[in-house]
Chain A
């Protein structure tokens, strides 16, 4: 046997050996016998995904915003199941509490039609569907193939030495010990975004205003108020 063939054989043997090792470690938590947390995650995930799909496909614009609430709330539950407690409450507060309300305000200020609007989807719907399905297939394939034998130790995360790893105390310590500078920079960014939103949504100054022609959409009661 030539040395090259021996090397190849040895490499193959080593590969199968590590493969067997990985396979021997994994069945401690079997793929076909899911734990309760996994079942809960799966169920909430199905609800979240369904709500997201309805959000992007429904023809009633206000219903899309309300289904978005379901999707974001489901994600908050997923964060809780992943022991990220603080993130879950921040998600509920900011997304469900303010972002969706802001979106509803936007829908109503732009006079979005209540009820079914036939032109909610644009003409390139089929191309979008093809792109989305192709990217979903690629991503799911890659992700499943990459993390087939990876497990999250949720029990260890909850009952760790320093308490729960995702608890508010741990998150706050990490945030204000290691991430103070980005945190403060983020506050400046939020201020800039707020000022920018106010400037953008402010009406133009009265000097540069054109005289507006009389519109039939103006009710007479508000005419007196001017």
Chain B
């Protein structure tokens, strides 16, 4: 097989994941795009392992071993990431990465980016900030106790 096939497919998948990470607004969709990028790396590792182990007499099979490690680390990453997203959702009532701008500098005084949908959204979230965490916590409690 031509090595360019898996390499090109992996590059395209990586860039698809890159687009998703940059363009998505929901944090869980961002995590999905991260999974796509990790899978592109895995495909590269497997293809190059098959290519390089055909020449070597004694090989470590590092590509396949590292692919397994990457898969395991991706599983750990998705667990931690979802736990963080759930904690943020419980505290803020949203999992929207555009609304989590506590550490952003220079966005509070002069409003927000002009013309975008972020303006009214961020204003609304700022105005009902005292009520949103309370309802989020209450709903989470009822779920957990039920």
Question: Are A154 and B50 neighbours in the complex by a CB distance under 8 Å?
Answer: yes
Question: Given the complex, which residues of A lie within 8 Å of B127, measured CB to CB?
Answer: none
Question: Are B8 and A166 neighbours in the complex by a CB distance under 8 Å?
Answer: no
Q: How far is the CB of A152 from chain B (nearest CB, A)?
A: 5
Question: Are B134 and A106 neighbours in the complex by a CB distance under 8 Å?
Answer: no
Asked if B113 is at the interface of the complex by the 8 Å CB criterion, the answer is: yes
**A106 and B85 in contact (CB under 8 A), knowing A148-B4, A157-B50, A225-B145?**
yes
Asked if A213 is at the interface of the complex by the 8 Å CB criterion, the answer is: yes
**A41 and B64 in contact (CB under 8 A), knowing A49-B16, A144-B8?**
no
How would you classify the secondary structure of chain A's contact residues: helix, strand, loop or mixed?
A: helix
Question: Given the complex, which residues of B lie within 8 Å of A31, measured CB to CB?
Answer: 2
Of A75, A139, A170, A217, which contacts B14 at CB under 8 A? A139
Of B1, B14, B69, which contacts A154 at CB under 8 A? B1
State which size class the interface on A falls in.
35 or more
Q: A48-B13, A165-B53, A197-B80 provided; 16 other pairs, C-beta below 8 A?
A: A78-B9, A82-B6, A83-B50, A84-B49, A107-B28, A123-B117, A143-B7, A151-B2, A174-B59, A175-B61, A179-B65, A189-B73, A197-B82, A200-B86, A201-B87, A213-B134
Q: List 14 A-B contacts (CB under 8 A).
A: A42-B5, A48-B13, A71-B36, A84-B49, A84-B50, A99-B74, A105-B82, A132-B15, A132-B22, A152-B2, A165-B53, A193-B77, A200-B86, A201-B83
**Chain B residues in contact with chain A, CB under 8 A?**
1-9, 11-20, 22-26, 28-29, 31-33, 35-36, 39, 42-43, 46-47, 49-51, 53-54, 59-61, 64-65, 67-69, 71-80, 82-87, 89, 95-98, 113, 116-118, 121, 134-135, 137-142, 144-146
